[in-house]
Amino acid sequence: MKHHELIIIGGGPSGLCAAKMAAEAGVKVLIVDRSPQLGGQLTKQTHKFFGSKAQYAKTRGFDIAKILIDQVIHHPNVTILQEATVVGLYPDKVVTVYQHDTYTRYQADKVIVATGASEKFLAFENNDLPGIYGAGAVQTLMNLYGVLPGQDIIMVGSGNIGLIVSYQLLQAGVHVKGIVEAAPTIGGYKVHASKIRRLGVPIFTSTTVQRAVGSTHLEAVELVKLDAKWQPLPGTEQIIPIDALCISVGLSPMHQLLSMVNAKTKYINELGGFVPIIDDHHQTTQEGIFACGDAVGIEEASSAMMEGYLTGLYVAEHLGKSHPESHALKEKYEHELDMLRNGPFGIKTKIGLEKLRKDDIHA
């Protein structure tokens, strides 16, 4: 069994940021990531990011990924395993890893679970047809591998991901026939919606997918309008021929490894689903096991980065190694996180966090 002071599960923005702080504090860090490339979902984000300088505002997502990777990849305290899936996490902080047909057990002193989130699914007839993808999957195909998912697409969901991926599809030369939103209003930033409207793409609010049509591949989708009670309005069905459908109806935190160690979770709608109960050091109810990023609540990458930095700083302290600028950095990142959550889009997160902390002795 190999030993590592700190094992970080997930090499996305929050994992990479946590690694940077911990490594700078003198902690020996092992990052384990199952993808062929580090950077999590940032690697396929071609748009410029929001936030402030601290979150690399106006820098394209894949460039932010390069910055975050550069910060740790050559650091002597950091070891990285890629194409390595963590298949087991145990209460005594044993982490088991499956990489290229080899199974290895690691003993960690502390673990950070930074596994991010996965796309939610939508239930409708024939939703398993090839040609129906998560919006993130379409981004991956297009932006990482340069493969078009289809020629004529409809996007389901008008949150930021739905709006942004629609724009990116247009940049790749795909005809986006429309964005479908079940709610009466657009979910994401209106600047993203405005960009799409300029390009002639309609946004159908109070509309949902009734069923998909096709035999071996998607050929069309049937949309239907919804009334004020979210019920389909008979007679409003319309069939639109398409060869790809993107589902962007929200993300769910990937908390599964934490369930393995019986870390307490709570179902909080505002945070995306089941999230671990964490204290203000980001420690779960399982001693020595911490979590950060989308795995503890769905937000933006900007928040994931700040949470990652903070968790790295706290974990280093728990290991008896304080970062030389610990105090100033903690203040800085807490402040940034506060600011990111301060506007109307942060209200949902704040409500979610309040619900998480309520009645909880641990938190």
Partner 1 sequence: MLNKTGIPTKDQVLSRFPDRKALIKPKAILECYEDIPCNPCSTSCPFDAIEIGENINVQPKLHTDLCTGCAVCVPSCPGLAIVIAQIKGDRAVFKIPYEFLPMPEKGQVWDGVNRSGEVICDALIEHVAITSKTDHTAVVTASVPVEFIYDFVTVRVKQ
Partner 2 sequence: MRIDKHPILNFPKKEPIPFIFEGQEVYGVEGDTIASALHALGITTLSYSIKKGRPRGFYCAIGNCASCNMMVNGIPNVRTCITPLVAGMIVERQTDKGVIR
Provide the minimum distance between the beta carbon of 21 and partner 1 in the complex, in angstroms, as a whole number: 22
Side-chain-side CA neighbours of 306 within 13 Å: the count stands at 22
Q: Give the range of 114-122, 190-198, 203-211, 280-288 binding partner 2 by CB under 8 A.
A: 114-122
Q: Please tell me whether residue 137 binds partner 2 under the rule CB under 8 A.
A: yes
Please give the DSSP secondary-structure letter assigned to residue 49.
P
Q: Please tell me whether residue 48 binds partner 1 under the rule CB under 8 A.
A: yes
| Count of chain residues binding partner 2 (CB under 8 A) | 37
Cα separation, 7 vs 250, in Å, equals: 28
Q: Give the range of 29-37, 64-72, 219-227, 334-342 binding partner 2 by CB under 8 A.
A: 29-37
Residue 326 interaction partner, one of partner 1, partner 2, none, beta carbon < 5-8 Å per kind:
none
Cα separation, 242 vs 275, in Å, equals: 36
Cα separation, 122 vs 161, in Å, equals: 15
Torsion from C-alpha of 258, 259, 263, 264, nearest 10 degrees:
130
Q: Please tell me whether residue 157 binds partner 2 under the rule CB under 8 A.
A: no
**∠ at Cα 326 (325, 327), nearest 5°?**
100
Residue 213 interaction partner, one of partner 2, partner 1, none, beta carbon < 5-8 Å per kind:
none
Q: Please tell me whether residue 171 binds partner 2 under the rule CB under 8 A.
A: yes
State the residue for tokens 């600011």: 339
Q: Please tell me whether residue 217 binds partner 2 under the rule CB under 8 A.
A: yes
Using the minimum distance from each CB to partner 2, give the nearer residue, 70 or 125: 125
CB burial of residue 66 (10 Å; 0-12, 13-18, 19+): middle
Please give the DSSP secondary-structure letter assigned to residue 311.
H
Q: Please tell me whether residue 132 binds partner 2 under the rule CB under 8 A.
A: yes
Q: Please tell me whether residue 134 binds partner 2 under the rule CB under 8 A.
A: yes
Q: Which of 73, 94, 172, 183 binds partner 2 (CB under 8 A)?
A: 172
Q: Which of 1, 74, 146, 358 binds partner 2 (CB under 8 A)?
A: 146
**Residue 303 Cα distances to 185, 210, 282, 292, 349, angstroms:** 25, 35, 14, 10, 11
Q: Which of 94, 148, 260, 339 binds partner 2 (CB under 8 A)?
A: 148
State the residue for tokens 């990652």: 308
Residues 6+ apart with CB under 8 A from 229: none
Q: Please tell me whether residue 13 binds partner 2 under the rule CB under 8 A.
A: no
* Contact footprint for partner 2 (CB under 8 A): 34-36, 41, 46, 60, 83, 85, 118-119, 121, 128-134, 136-137, 140-149, 151, 171-173, 216-217, 254
